[in-house]
Amino acid sequence: MAKTSIFAALPFTNFEFPSLFRVKNSSIISFSETHFLRQSISTAIVRSPTKRGIVSVSCSSVTDEASSEELQVRTLTWKWKGYSIRYQCAGTSGPALVLVHGFGANSDHWRKNTPILGKTHRVYSIDLIGYGYSDKPNPREFGGEPFYTFETWGEQLNDFCLDVVKDEAFFICNSIGGLVGLQAAVSKPEICRGLMLINISLRMLHIKKQPFIGRPFIKSFQNLLRNTPVGKLFFKSIAKPETVKSILCQCYHDSSQVTDELVEAILRPGLEPGAVDVFLEFICYSGGPLPEDLLPLVKCPVLIAWGEKDPWEPIELGRAYSNFDAVEDFVVLPDAGHCPQDEKPEMVNPLIESFVARH
């Protein structure tokens, strides 16, 4: 059985926490073996079937002199419900792509994708409210009702398409961002043309996936973090360059890709006022939808890509999602960890392009 820490999210939170706080995984997903891919992707991608029928992706020379000439990325602000939302964009023609980051990250996590994809697409990478350089309203201001939920972010994503993109779009999502994309696609199916889910979070710490006997412990621990000084002390202990780098080195298979630039991109907005409250609110969010709740409701085509070396979201469990009707392909990304779009952009960028071209 796969191992997970008490915080299953993106860089800030998923790391080896003391064993006292670990909860044994209890997956409720039980699907049959996954299927072969039904469509070819791109001449730049070499496919080889694995023993279990999954497709593995490797790249022949997908970068050349032309592709190395990146477009300038613009950074802009959008007002949503009175809040300031940062987004970045590149490209002026072609299908619209909206890139959605995972927990603890922001639109800078797509810095190796936005300028490349912008040559042939209209590309937008957005900071979800509460993250990056978007506003971070205090969750306690909403009368006890949860604010930082997939419903909130899904609504933000759809409104962004209506107000800024002004068109339907493909949602390209990593980790927790995959739940955001799924929620948006289910809420307003007329907006989403297609979904690419890159190492979507399995939400292994969701309350439904925990043994019944352990659920009271989880609730108590969440209350401890949210309602006592312990939570802020915990946040302070990990919001340091050396700790963030250590966490990133866990989820990136190739630790050489964990540069000072990446650490700064993740850490700096996490030190802004309000970030600690958002952080604590979300790691105490063990309800809401699961991927297996939303996938049966999706009407658009779905491509799932998975870094085979992901230590947080085991590929053996991720394969099960390929059996949903909306899922066209399940693509294995060799030697990639939890964030292949940043670790292996030479694989992910052409995969995105080919998925969009088919639809």
pLDDT over 60 at 290, yes or no: yes
| CA-based nearest residue to 328, from 223, 196, 211 | 196
Greater model confidence, 69 or 107? 107
Lowest-pLDDT choice from 1-15, 117-131, 201-215, 307-321 = 1-15
170 close to 95: Cβ distance less than 8 angstroms: yes
Long-range contacts of 186-190 (CB under 8 A, 24+ apart): 186/154, 186/294, 186/297, 186/298, 187/151, 187/154, 187/155, 187/158, 188/158, 189/298, 189/299, 189/300
Residues 6+ positions from 168 with CB-CB distance below 8 Å: 96, 161, 190, 191, 192, 193
Share above pLDDT 70 across residues of the chain, in percent, rounded to a whole number: 78
Query: Region 264-268: what's the mean pLDDT?
Result: 94
**Hey, where are the domains in the chain?**
74-204+289-358
Distance CA 346, CA 342 (A): 9
CB 225 within 8 A of CB 231: yes
Cα 134 from chain centroid (whole Å): 17
pLDDT tens readout for residues 159-173: 999 999 999 999 999
Provide the pLDDT for residue 230: 86
Task: Provide mean pLDDT across the span 145-153.
Answer: 93
Query: Rounded to an integer, what distance in angstroms lies between the CA atom of residue 346 and that of residue 293?
Result: 32
- DSSP E strands in the chain: the ranges are 45-49, 55-59, 74-80, 83-90, 96-100, 122-126, 169-174, 192-198, 302-307, 327-333
Q: Are 175 and 196 spatial neighbours (Cβ–Cβ below 8 Å)?
A: no
Distance CA 281, CA 273 (A): 14
CATH number for the domain formed by residue range(s) 74-204+289-358: 3.40.50.1820
CA distances (Å), 138 to each of 25, 203, 231, in order? 31, 24, 15
pLDDT number for residue 293 = 94
Q: How far apart are the first and last CA of the chain?
A: 37
Cβ within 8 Å of residue 268, ≥6 positions away = none
Going by pLDDT thresholds of 50, 70 and 90, the confidence category of residue 264 is very high
Residue 201 has φ and ψ, to the nearest 5°, of -65, 130
Alpha helices in 161-290 (DSSP H): 176-187, 215-227, 229-238, 241-251, 260-270, 275-283
Q: Residue 291 is encoded by which pair of tokens?
A: 């991927």
The letter for the amino acid at 138 is N
